[in-house]
Chain A
Amino acid sequence: MTRTLTALSARRRHPMAVVVLIALALLLVGGLYAALSPREARATTATASADDIQTGKELFLANCSTCHGLDAQGGPVVDGKNPGPSLIGVGAASVDFQVGTGRMPLAQSGAQAPEVDKIRFSQEQIDQMAAYIASLAPGPAVPTEEQLDTSGVSDEEVARGAAIFRTNCAMCHNSQGKGGALTAGKYAPDLTGTSAKHIYEAMQTGPQSMPVFNDNNISPDDKTAIIAWLTDRGGEDTRPDPGGLTLGSLGPVSEGLVAWIAGIGALIGVSVWLGMKSS
């Protein structure tokens, strides 16, 4: 032991010592990160068993049937308003989106169901409810891992996805996907941080005010390309910002605010200085 330490100590001034030390440190940090970082949650795509459908039905009856009806046929119309639409034929994708983003169960009625951070169901429970709804009538299924994998999307496809986004999505969700206002308190939400799965499902099912973009309108490959552009292809920057200061990418609202307050403020400051007498 002593001999080893002495040997190490003797070599500590060796030119390669720094390189070796850095390599060791990198290995240590990387290893720790790999061991300790949280694993990405993976959606279970196992085919639904009869048990799942039964459990899903029980969950549905306990949590959703008040508004959507005991057989998911839609709630009773009261005062000309339908508290909950029929869920027959909306498909598993719709359930996974609405419950998975916390929009359902709806806490209170309003202009539209807001996204909620706290999801009240586990992914397993959501899958069971989705299986039950999917068993009622065919509808859009939850997208596969392959459809959500953006790593193989080429630059050309990302550009194509961006072009499709600009025509089909940008007028509501803003050219950078930052969201925007609709009528009567409704709004298109900010897409930053929305998971690939939920973006895909929203296109397929058209939740709330959003229209449906089925696979014949925007093909599955193009949907993946849009997601690749929106989510920066899983980390890398596919939406470079040459200006350097996006001001939230909100367009004239924040830009105008800065121009009026900072720009005109600076002009006023200079004018005051111009008119001031020197001390």
Chain B
Amino acid sequence: MSDIERADEAHGQPGSALAKPGGGVPDRFENPGLPPHRHRMGDTDPQAAKRAERQVAFFLLLSILGSIGIIVSIIAIKYDGSFERVSWSTKAIGLSMFLSLFALGVGAVHWAKTLMPDDERIDMRHRQRGTAAERAAAVAILKEGAGEAGLGRRPLIRNTLVGALALFPIPAVFFFRDTGPLPGNDLSTTMWEDGIHLVKDPEGGRIRAADVTLGSVVHVLPEGIEDVEHPLNEKAKSAVLIMRLEQDLLSEKQNEWGVDGTVAYSKICTHMGCPVALYEQQTHHLLCPCHQSTFDLTQDCKVIFGPAKRPLPQLPIAVDDEGYLVATSGFHEAVGPSFWERG
């Protein structure tokens, strides 16, 4: 209690009365001192203190009820697979957890605020800089240590030590590499290649070129995607939209890579990889719902609005002998958002 003292008498006095010779209060600030201490109801009225005690106990009791409620709701509400039970179960457990924790907190805070001692303590600031003698002693210890180690006299040890410390962390690179397979060229390639048929998402089934009428949009996946090792990983890259519009609205390249005005484009936004699936058939705009990047189909899916930087890649398609749409090659560039090694 040498530096910390009870502030009982200090209340209501000007701060200069408190300023100590060794304290860190600069002269140019006038210490405002403490405002007059206001006693709480519980400090003066035993009736009020009793009331506050009961209030705290009430909240703690609520918390007890909440904790019991958690156990009861876990035991009493059995999952039977119905949404209704799931709903009741999560609500009951959640609400009783809330009651258990929140009432406990409220009780504790209310206790501290109404009944625990509320008199302020004064703790004076200390000088942080050591005295000149202490500082000199510290420097001397360091110098003595360095001299005894003799690094200046033994360059062999110094140099090998530097080498040892520098090499020590390098093996960690290999450990980090082993934490997961590198993506390889997975980001640049998709399932699409010459001869892969276009099938409908999610129903499946090949698509006849003649069935895609003007103004249509069909959500497409590569045939056989269900059989690959990671269908969802493939779907995230290979999802494609086909749309049919008037052939004279399309460029020569688009017509060459399409079939009678039916063109196939990657559905993966070049900004953050969301599915760009909002097709406005009158304006021929494709809108990404995540950040409103808008691609104009009549300009080879050029970005006309929003944060995307590159157009959506087109997938070259053709018709096979039986009239079904089929890819004639993979995408000519990586689909989806930019990544480090992307050319």
CB within 8 Å of B: which residues of A? 160, 163-164, 166-168, 171-172, 180, 182-184, 186, 188, 206, 208-214, 216-219, 222, 240-244, 273-274, 276-279
Residues of chain B lying within 8 A (CB to CB) of residue A243: 87
Decide if A206 touches B87 in the complex (CB within 8 Å).
Answer: no
Residues of chain B lying within 8 A (CB to CB) of residue A273: 109
A-contacting residues, B220-259, CB 8 Å: 243
Decide if B219 touches A168 in the complex (CB within 8 Å).
Answer: yes
How close is A73's CB to chain B, nearest CB, in angstroms? 17
Distance of A273 Cα from B91 Cα, bound (Å): 27
Decide if B216 touches A167 in the complex (CB within 8 Å).
Answer: no
Distance of A180 Cα from B215 Cα, bound (Å): 20
Residues of chain B lying within 8 A (CB to CB) of residue A217: 200, 211-212, 216, 218
Contacts A163-B202, A211-B215, A274-B109 given; indicate if A279 touches B279 (C-beta within 8 A): no
Residues of chain B lying within 8 A (CB to CB) of residue A218: 203
How close is A248's CB to chain B, nearest CB, in angstroms? 17
CB within 8 Å of A: which residues of B? 38, 40-42, 52, 83-84, 86-87, 90-91, 109, 113-114, 118, 200-203, 207-208, 211-219, 243, 275, 277-283, 285, 287, 289, 292, 294, 305
How close is B47's CB to chain A, nearest CB, in angstroms? 14
Decide if A167 touches B281 in the complex (CB within 8 Å).
Answer: no
Question: Can you give 17 A-B contacts (C-beta < 8 A)?
Answer: A160-B203, A166-B202, A167-B201, A184-B283, A186-B280, A206-B281, A208-B282, A209-B281, A210-B281, A211-B281, A214-B213, A216-B212, A242-B84, A277-B40, A278-B40, A278-B52, A278-B113
Decide if B219 touches A242 in the complex (CB within 8 Å).
Answer: no
For the A-B complex, the count of residue pairs with Cβ-Cβ distances under 8 Å equals 94
Decide if B114 touches A278 in the complex (CB within 8 Å).
Answer: yes
Decide if B202 touches A167 in the complex (CB within 8 Å).
Answer: yes
Decide if B202 touches A214 in the complex (CB within 8 Å).
Answer: no
How close is A269's CB to chain B, nearest CB, in angstroms? 12
Residues of chain B lying within 8 A (CB to CB) of residue A219: 203
Contacts A183-B285, A209-B281, A279-B40 given; indicate if A167 touches B215 (C-beta within 8 A): no
Distance of A277 Cα from B243 Cα, bound (Å): 67
Residues of chain B lying within 8 A (CB to CB) of residue A184: 283
Distance of A277 Cα from B213 Cα, bound (Å): 73
Residues of chain A lying within 8 A (CB to CB) of residue B214: 212
Contacts A186-B280, A208-B282, A209-B282 given; indicate if A278 touches B42 (C-beta within 8 A): yes
Distance of A168 Cα from B202 Cα, bound (Å): 9
| Known pairs A164-B203, A212-B213, A216-B207 / 4 extra A-B pairs, C-beta < 8 Å | A182-B287, A217-B211, A276-B113, A277-B38
- Which 4 pairs across A and B sit closest by C-beta, in order of nearness? A216-B211, A211-B217, A171-B277, A240-B83
Decide if A244 touches B280 in the complex (CB within 8 Å).
Answer: no
Which single member of B83, B109, B278 contacts A182 (CB below 8 Å)? B278
Decide if B279 touches A211 in the complex (CB within 8 Å).
Answer: yes
Decide if A183 touches B87 in the complex (CB within 8 Å).
Answer: no
Distance of A184 Cα from B282 Cα, bound (Å): 13
Decide if B83 touches A277 in the complex (CB within 8 Å).
Answer: no
Residues of chain B lying within 8 A (CB to CB) of residue A213: 216-217
Distance of A216 Cα from B52 Cα, bound (Å): 74
Decide if B216 touches A214 in the complex (CB within 8 Å).
Answer: yes
Distance of A212 Cα from B294 Cα, bound (Å): 20
Distance of A181 Cα from B214 Cα, bound (Å): 24
Decide if B215 touches A206 in the complex (CB within 8 Å).
Answer: yes
Decide if A183 touches B280 in the complex (CB within 8 Å).
Answer: yes
Decide if B280 touches A167 in the complex (CB within 8 Å).
Answer: no
Decide if A209 touches B283 in the complex (CB within 8 Å).
Answer: yes
Decide if B87 touches A244 in the complex (CB within 8 Å).
Answer: yes
Residues of chain B lying within 8 A (CB to CB) of residue A244: 87, 91
Which single member of B42, B109, B243, B289 contacts A211 (CB below 8 Å)? B243
Which single member of B41, B203, B283 contacts A279 (CB below 8 Å)? B41
Decide if A209 touches B280 in the complex (CB within 8 Å).
Answer: yes
